[in-house]
Amino acid sequence: MLNVPLNHDGAPLEITFTHRTEQGQRFRVYHIARILRNKAYIGILEYNFRQDRGEREPVIVPKFYPPIVDAELFNRVQEKVKSTSSFWQNAHAHRTDYLLSGLVKCDACGHRYVGTSAKGGRFHYYTCQSYIKRGKGACDAPLLNKDRLEKGVLDQIQQCILSPGNVRRYIEMVIEQARSEQQPSAEEKAVSFAIEDTDAKLRRWEEALEDAAHRIKELRHERAALLKTRSSLEQKSSSTAKILPIPTPLMNTYIREMQERLGQKDRLQEGVFEGDNQRGESQRQRDYFDLQDPLDR
């Protein structure tokens, strides 16, 4: 059973373990990590995954054990452990004086080297984790002097990786990658297309307005020429055909005379048909002719 007291006064969280492992050791962080990653709790048997005793083919047997943990819960725990482990490894160099702790791999067993010290902290080394946990019987890889290993790695980095030419290329690659990643979003593309379409419409309207303005100017000149032509024609017609009005008194006199003559003409026609039969036809015609209006002859 795990006893995990929680501190609320800002002090670091302390974890104590009242039970021990089968070997009588106190539970450590790596014991809990192994338990959380053990697939036996979901019924899967895995073996031959450790290659420190020679290369062997890994074997996986599903449903070998009766599961005691739900598979979905187990998978969520794996994701959490993975993210936490990644954060811990990235931050490890900031919490220790050993810059290469956890980054150097042992050629003998494949485990990682971690920083250790000896003689009360006077000497510092990088030691294989297998050697620390299980002694020389698990791994007899030599200890690596901290200063010499770090200096050798940093010199190689400076010479091969951080050379002026490489740094220049790295900067160019980062700039090029940043430019390629700055792709417009779908909304930005839609807005750009709308702007281009609006610009095209504006250009068409400007061209149409320019043509319309030119046409309006031509029509104004044409209208001015037509107005000038009409004015000249009106002046010409008024000078060639003048109609003078007849005075009203003269018109009245003429109308009375015409009425009197028409009355005499009517009476003469009645006398001709009802008059003396002894007058000859020729005499009647002469009399009738004398009474006629000269305009009617």
73 pLDDT more than 90 = yes
pLDDT at 52: 60
Instruction: Write down the pTM of the prediction.
Output: 0.34
- The CA radius of gyration of the chain, in Å to the nearest whole number, is 63
239 assigned to some structural domain: no
Residue 3 β-bridge partners? 16
The DSSP code sequence of 140-169 is -PPPEEHHHHHHHHHHHIIIIISSHHHHHH
| Residue 128 and residue 108 in contact, taking contact as beta carbons nearer than 8 Å | yes
Residue-wise pLDDT for 193-216, tens only, equals 889 888 888 888 888 888 888 888
254 assigned to some structural domain: no
| Residue 110 and residue 51 in contact, taking contact as beta carbons nearer than 8 Å | yes
> Counting every residue, how long is the chain?
297
Query: Which of 167, 52, 156 has the alpha carbon at shortest distance from 112?
Result: 52
pLDDT at 86: 57
117 assigned to some structural domain: yes
Q: Which residue has the higher pLDDT, 141 or 6?
A: 141
pLDDT at 121: 78
43 pLDDT more than 50 = yes
Overall number of domains in the chain: 1
192 assigned to some structural domain: no
Residue span of the structural domain in which 118 resides: 97-145
83 assigned to some structural domain: no
User: Residues of the chain with pLDDT > 90: what percent?
Assistant: 9
pLDDT at 28: 74
284 assigned to some structural domain: no
Mean pLDDT of 182-187: 75
Residue-wise pLDDT for 125-171, tens only, equals 999 988 888 888 888 889 999 999 999 998 888 888 888 888 888 88
Tokens of 149: 């290993």
Name the most confidently modeled range: 87-96, 176-185, 226-235, 286-295: 226-235
Average predicted confidence (pLDDT) for the chain: 77
pLDDT at 210: 85
Query: Which of 74-88, 187-201, 217-231 bottoms out in mean pLDDT, i.e. has the lowest?
Result: 74-88
DSSP annotation of 246 reads P
Per-residue confidence band for 55, with pLDDT thresholds at 50, 70 and 90: confident
9 pLDDT more than 60 = no
2 assigned to some structural domain: no
| Distant-in-sequence, close-in-space partners of 113: CB < 8 Å, separation ≥ 6 | 100, 101, 102, 103, 104, 105, 106, 126, 127, 128, 129, 144
- Rounded CA separation 258/267 (Å): 14
Q: Which residue has the higher pLDDT, 241 or 159?
A: 159
Query: Which of 86-90, 177-181, 246-250, 280-284 bottoms out in mean pLDDT, i.e. has the lowest?
Result: 86-90
Using the Cα atoms of residue 9, residue 12, residue 18 and residue 19 in order, give the sign of their dihedral.
positive
Per-residue confidence band for 272, with pLDDT thresholds at 50, 70 and 90: low
The residue whose two tokens read 């106190």 is 26
2 pLDDT more than 60 = no
263 pLDDT more than 90 = no
221 assigned to some structural domain: no
Q: Which residue has the higher pLDDT, 193 or 17?
A: 193
Mean pLDDT of 10-19: 50
